[in-house]
Amino acid sequence: MEHGYQPEQWRDLYVMLGTSSAALIGLLFVATSLHLDEIVSNRVYRIRALYNSIYLIMTLIHAALVLMPQPMIWLGVEIAAINCFVLLISINVYKVVYSDGEEARRGGFSHYRATTIIIALLMGIGGGVGLACQSSWGLYLETVSYVTFLVSVVLNAWSIMLGVGEAENAMKAGKATVRKKRG
């Protein structure tokens, strides 16, 4: 049986995915630094920005692992292990954020996004297990997980920037009101 892990056939896709992850890491740092005060002052924004970085670094590592010449079994073990680790810390953070409902609401925490991330991590674990078992579907599942992360991070970053923009506009409107009252 011919299996799906044929590095030469996946190379271009994972070069593109890895490059996308690296570019998004840079853009995330620039966007975060432009609005650092607002992000630092809101715990949920800080956590969301941190986890966006973690997820992008994880995807960049996945691309490097897929592109690195190695046995399919080791690739599967590495991918499953990384996804398990990130799943455990993600679930812990979701519990902490969810415990303060008001702050989570102000910071734009979304159960939908959290569920999407957990499902993507589970798909990544499944893909890693599939690769470790030398199954042809393992890398396909890992790739779906990877793309889901990229889309989720972009949407999450957009949501953070909208929230920061709304907070900045509210602060400007408040200052304008104070100036009108003084004048």
* SS3 letters across the chain: CCCCCCHHHHHHHHHHHHHHHHHHHHHHHHHHHHCHHHHHHCHHHHHHHHHHHHHHHHHHHHHHHHHCCCCHHHHHHHHHHHHHHHHHHHHHHHHHHHHCHHHHHHCCCCHHHHHHHHHHHHHHHHHHHHHHCCCCCHHHHHHHHHHHHHHHHHHHHHHHHHHHHHHHHHHHHHHHHHHHHHC
Tell me if 4 sits within 8 A of 131, measured CB to CB. no
Apex 98 CA angle, 95 and 100, nearest 5: 120
pLDDT recorded at residue 8: 77
Give the span between the Cα atoms of 134 and 106, in whole angstroms: 45
Tell me if 35 sits within 8 A of 161, measured CB to CB. yes
**Model confidence over 19-71: pLDDT tens digits?**
999 999 998 888 888 878 878 887 778 888 888 899 999 999 999 999 999 99
Higher per-residue confidence, 94 vs 13: 13
Percentage of the residues of the chain whose pLDDT score is greater than 70 = 83
What would the mean pLDDT of 127-152 be, rounded to a whole number? 93
Give the span between the Cα atoms of 163 and 154, in whole angstroms: 14
What would the mean pLDDT of 131-149 be, rounded to a whole number? 93
CA distances from 143 to 43, 59, 136, 170 (A): 31, 10, 12, 41
**Domain edges within the chain:** 7-182
* Predicted TM-score (pTM) of this structure: 0.81
- Enter the tokens of residue 20: 């996308």
Higher per-residue confidence, 6 vs 75: 75
